[in-house]
Structure 1
Amino acid sequence: MSIPTEPIGSIPRPPALLAALAEHAEGRLSEADLTKLQEEATVETLAKLESLGCPVLVDGEQAKSSFVTYPLAGLSTLGSQGAVIPFADGHTRQLPVLTGGPFRYQVRAESYLRGAQRHTERPVKQAVIAPSALSLLYPSEPIDGYAREAFLRDLADEAEADIRGCLDAGAHCVQLDFTEGRLSLKLDPSGGVLDAFIDINNEVLGRFTEAERARLGVHTCPGGDQDSTHSLDVDYAELLPKLFQLKVGNFYVQLASEADPDRVLSIIAEQLRPGIRVFVGVTDPIDPRVETPEEVRDRVLNAARYIPADQLGTSDDCGFSPFADDTSTSRDLAFAKIKARVEGTALASQALGL
């Protein structure tokens, strides 16, 4: 069996879709027309990934406004002054803030999955936002009549339903995006916020059977937006031991952009347990240079020195455009890097005799 390789999620949107999103925001394009263009972009994305030989596909998040906020579209109990995420280049992203309850997802990831499955026979992976990220929606001051404890119960129920819907729809894997994990250590070096995030996520993950958790995964990275990160300067050694406490069968770990990948791999090796697989990042979406298949091969072979081949997989470090308006990476560049990942992983499998 060869080493498995999977994308993380987002692919840059085509120019026509980007223009349509702007027109829709200005009220000059109907919801129906935007939906049609999003579906066309999804079909094009799936076909391109198939042509590159990807064994597992994603829809590229062509219909999501962002990897974080898709469940919130249409939610009326939101304000604009939520948590601010600072990036190294000085730009920020701001989450909305909850103004009332009960909290309910307005959109479930299952809808994106089923939309993609209509256009391919290959396995489709579905990314969902981790409940820990959405826990940041609750304001610092209590909401009258809706305590934080009640919100967290509702959030856990909604996140479970989001994941379970994808599993029931036949997702190859459901990946929780957990970029806030590394960021939490920058905001709170004591690790208290990270511990709370792990507990929130495990409350949900613990509701699934062992067989179901084998199809669940978690993705960690230092953020990747407009060619910048929010927490690359945070020591992975502070995150990884706690990350591997999460009750999933698959871990997707950004690695290609790390300054000392061997140190990270040695930490991962210490956290390995039977029954899990670690997908290491072998392409860097922020780097404008396209990795060669041989470079990817060598990264995989190096990872195999620390992680047994039957527990090893490859991925991109993170999504290529997690926010719909991020145009810092071109669509062609993303596909070129994915092609290098697929071909380089195959070369490594051959070198390992798999």
Structure 2
Amino acid sequence: MGIPTEPIGSMPRPPELLAGLADHAAGRLDRAGLDALHDQAVQDTIARFEALGSPVVTDGEQRKPSFATYPVDGLDHLAPDGVVIPFADGHVRQLPRLTGGPFRYATRSARYLRAAQRHASVPVKQAVIAASALSLLYPADGLPGYDRSAFLDDLVDEAEADIRGSLDAGAHRVQLDFTEGRLSLKLDPSRGVLDSFVALNNRVLDRFTPAERSRIGVHTCPGGDQDSTHSADVDYAELLPRLFALNAGVFYVQLASEPHPDRVLRVIAEHVRPQQRVFVGVTDPIDPVVETPEQVRDRVLRAAEYLPPDRLGTCDDCGFAPFGDDVSTSRETAWAKVRARIEGTALAAAQLGV
């Protein structure tokens, strides 16, 4: 049976694609030329995953402008001055701000999935952004003729359609990126924002059957961008009990970069529900040092002290380049970490006899 292992999503873009994106922005490369570079990057990403023996692959998010904003890429009623997300090293990311309704996705995840499936010979998973993250697009002072309640109704409809489209297209699993969960505790230590995020995401998840929810996962981490995080200083134990209140079947939990993994594992074991599987992070995309397979093995064996092997999986802590312009980690370093994750997980499975 073994222990399943999956990537989270993004991989660093190859230099040719990064140059093409710059050329396209400057008007030196047309859309057809850029699409060709995107397709080459996806094909290369999947081929390299498969060459390393990855049982599940992603497209590395080579086509996404960012993991968070792909649904609104091309939407016209947006302004650039939305919510600011500060990172520990001082840099920021800023979300767009909605300027009118009704809210509709301009791009759906199934588009990326189908393009990846053309190149894959193993199952493909698809990452999507959680509805809670997109709820931050709505301005704090409201919109005339389009109140927040109407916006959230539209958002839930669109998020459901995005997930369902990838499930129907044959995704091995659809993963909701929920990095704003831990960040919400920095914004509101009373947990009111976090509880509202969980409730909103459950409005979406409750529209799926138990069988469908077994193919839907949730990823949590303290953010990862340009070798920095936005909420690693927030106590993980404040998030995790509410995380497992989400009605998903699978959870991908950043763990390799945690200073006290046993404490985190105890909280997970206490709060995870019987029907839920936990993929623990065993490689840290922010750390430039490449883990050895033996280090990964030992991290899996530690997790197996708290979770039975049939409820355990492994993953990277987060994506390696969730924003399209993040070049802080080289593509080769990322592949070396993926190799360590795959080989180390296999070593642990053999030692556990599964």
Q: CA deviation at 1:272?
A: 2.2
Counterparts of 2:31 and 2:154, CA distance in 1: 29
CA contact (8 A) 2:132 2:197 kept: yes
- Whether 1:172 and 2:172 are equivalent positions in the alignment is yes
1:261 aligned residue: 261
1:309 aligned residue: 309
- Whether 1:11 and 2:11 are equivalent positions in the alignment is yes
Instruction: Give the aligned length.
Output: 354
1:334 aligned residue: 334
CA contact (8 A) 2:291 2:337 kept: yes
Name the amino acid aligned to 2:257.
S
1:286 aligned residue: 286
CA contact (8 A) 2:244 2:273 kept: no
Counterparts of 2:47 and 2:127, CA distance in 1: 19
1:66 aligned residue: 66
Q: Which residues of 2 match residues 18-33 of structure 1 at below 5 A? A: 18-33=18-33
Q: Matched residue of 2:323: which SS?
A: coil
Q: CA deviation at 1:28?
A: 1.8
Q: CA deviation at 1:178?
A: 0.2
Q: CA deviation at 1:277?
A: 0.5
1:144 aligned residue: 144
Q: Matched residue of 2:175: which SS?
A: strand
Q: Matched residue of 1:279: which SS?
A: strand
CA contact (8 A) 2:292 2:340 kept: yes
1:236 aligned residue: 236
Deviation digits for residues 108-150 of structure 1 (CA, Å, limit 9, x no counterpart)? 0000000000111210000000000000000011111111110
Name the amino acid aligned to 1:16.
E
Name the amino acid aligned to 2:299.
R
Q: CA deviation at 1:274?
A: 1.5
Q: CA deviation at 1:197?
A: 0.4
Q: CA deviation at 1:23?
A: 1.2
Counterparts of 2:153 and 2:236, CA distance in 1: 30
Q: CA deviation at 1:183?
A: 0.3
CA contact (8 A) 2:110 2:169 kept: yes
Q: Which residues of 2 match residues 156-167 of structure 1 at below 5 A? A: 156-167=156-167
Given the two structures, how large is their TM-score scaled by the length of structure 2? Answer: 0.99
1:104 aligned residue: 104
Q: Which runs of 5+ in 1 are unaligned?
A: none
Name the amino acid aligned to 1:33.
G
Name the amino acid aligned to 2:260.
D
1:45 aligned residue: 45
Counterparts of 1:308 and 1:116, CA distance in 2: 33
Name the amino acid aligned to 1:119.
H
Deviation digits for residues 245-298 of structure 1 (CA, Å, limit 9, x no counterpart)? 001000000000000000000000001222210000000000000000000000
Name the amino acid aligned to 2:310.
D
Superposed structure 1 runs of 4+ greater than 3 Å apart: none
- Whether 1:272 and 2:272 are equivalent positions in the alignment is yes
- Whether 1:134 and 2:134 are equivalent positions in the alignment is yes
Q: CA deviation at 1:328?
A: 0.1
Counterparts of 2:119 and 2:202, CA distance in 1: 33
Deviation digits for residues 12-64 of structure 1 (CA, Å, limit 9, x no counterpart)? 00001001111111222111111110010000000000000000000000000
Q: Matched residue of 2:5: which SS?
A: coil
Name the amino acid aligned to 1:17.
L
Counterparts of 2:172 and 2:324, CA distance in 1: 24
Q: CA deviation at 1:307?
A: 0.6
Counterparts of 1:115 and 1:279, CA distance in 2: 26
Q: Which runs of 5+ in 2 are unaligned?
A: none
Name the amino acid aligned to 2:331.
R
Name the amino acid aligned to 1:218.
V
Deviation digits for residues 280-337 of structure 1 (CA, Å, limit 9, x no counterpart)? 0000000000000000000000000001111000000000000010000000000000
Q: CA deviation at 1:158?
A: 0.3
CA contact (8 A) 2:131 2:200 kept: yes
Aligned-pair Cα RMSD in Å: 0.5
Q: Matched residue of 2:119: which SS?
A: coil
Name the amino acid aligned to 1:234.
V
